[in-house]
Amino acid sequence: MEKQNSIRQIALNSLAGFAQDYTQRLASLQQSGNKWQLDIASDGLDLDTKGRVEAKLIKDLLQEFPDEQFLVYYRPLVRSQAGATRSPRAPLPAPKKLKRIPKIAKIVLVASGKGGVGKSTVTANLAHALKEQGHRVGLLDADILGPSLSLIFGAAPLRVGADQKLIPAEVNGFHLVSSGLFASEREAVLWRGPILAKTLLKFFFEVAWGELDFLLCDLPPGTSDIALSIVENIEVDGAIIVTTPGALASADVHKSITLFEKHQTKILGLVENMAFHTCSQCGHRDPIFGEDADNNLADAREIPVLAQIPLDRSIRLHTQMAIRSNAPALETFIDLADQLVFMT
């Protein structure tokens, strides 16, 4: 308790360095071992201010506690009808009828409202980050009609074991199952909704996944039969929703959020992909596709923005070829992985 009080006081002093009323932005402080998560109210903060606040907080905290790990997590405050602020509402528990997958500790859905926002790229890089932290990771490409993970990683066709279960492909240290490992790249999968849903459930229950710390499930865009089949049959530990800046993508995100809320699926937060580009020559940070739309959406739906991922060449190289570098863009996925471990 003494350490917690000290960390809280340092954080408050750090926030006061921006403005006295910034101390009211510290919504909560949570601990898991030597990891500490600071929830900061994001209301009214632009991207640049968030970056400066986070950098100062972590710098000040590490000066006093160099052996601890600190995560700064931005989330909107929720306002009651009386106008008072409170912490974001807790998700409802998953219905008891939902099934767990044996030997898989945590199942996380990666969803999007609209296609083409880079959801599979986020999934792949998040998997890399989790693996680098020592976690055993599986990847399920649930976009049966338009698989991407099999193209990103490349893998041999799936085999059937002696127990008649599918054996996942082994790629870059991951277990991967994708419909792209059954058909050629140019062959269309002409299946209707019920067949898609049945096939998807087989990918969960009739695959020899082995022991995994995380199974990341890359959903197709939108609110299709596949997404419904998962949330109605399988107990998952949360969903991440990937979007891009701009009103068009944000409009479709509302539909995905509503789907998960109706089925009491815990929404971990938003990931804004291609949020900005940083010039390699002068360091100028440019929100090419706009800004604030996703923050406004997060405020409106009372969910946090977990990460703002830049438009950066290093991400493309790392996605397919696992080329590691010290590029700041890749650190975003490490931070995202830290939050995922903490929240689930």
- 286 and 199 share one domain: yes
CATH number of the domain that residue 114 is part of: 3.40.50.300
CA distance 269 to 37: 15
CATH number of the domain that residue 19 is part of: 3.30.300.20
Structural domain including 62 reads: 2-86
Residue 292 above 80 pLDDT? no
Instruction: Flag whether 99 is in a domain.
Output: no
Burial (CB count <10 Å: 0-12, 13-18, 19+), residue 237? buried
Average pLDDT over residues 138-155: 83
Check: pTM over 0.75? Answer yes or no: no
Check: CB of residue 268 under 8 Å from CB of residue 333.
Answer: no
Indicate the DSSP class of residue 91.
P
- 62 and 115 share one domain: no
Check: CB of residue 297 under 8 Å from CB of residue 267.
Answer: no
Q: What's the Cα-to-Cα distance from 87 to each of 35, 75, 302, rounded to whole Å?
A: 20, 9, 10
Instruction: Flag whether 269 is in a domain.
Output: yes
Q: What region does 147 belong to: left with phi over 0, alpha with psi -120 to 50, or beta?
A: beta
- 249 and 111 share one domain: yes
In the numeric block, which tokens belong to residue 89?
A: 């509402």
Residue 97 above 80 pLDDT? no
Mean pLDDT of the chain: 80
CA distance 155 to 180: 9
- 127 and 200 share one domain: yes
Q: pLDDT tens digit string along 56-81? A: 898 899 999 988 888 887 777 644 34
Query: Across 1-5, 13-17, 253-257, which has the greatest mean pLDDT?
Result: 13-17
Q: What share of the chain is helix, strand, coil (3-state, %, to 5)?
A: 40, 25, 40
Q: pLDDT tens digit string along 45-59? A: 776 788 788 888 988
Instruction: Classify 2 as helix, strand or coil.
Output: helix
Q: pLDDT tens digit string along 222-258? A: 777 788 888 888 999 999 999 888 767 677 788 888 8
Dihedral Cα 14, 32, 318, 75, nearest 10 deg: -50
CA distance 305 to 116: 19
At which of 36, 56, 86 does a domain end? 86
- 269 and 303 share one domain: yes
- 81 and 114 share one domain: no
Instruction: Flag whether 96 is in a domain.
Output: no
Instruction: Classify 209 as helix, strand or coil.
Output: coil
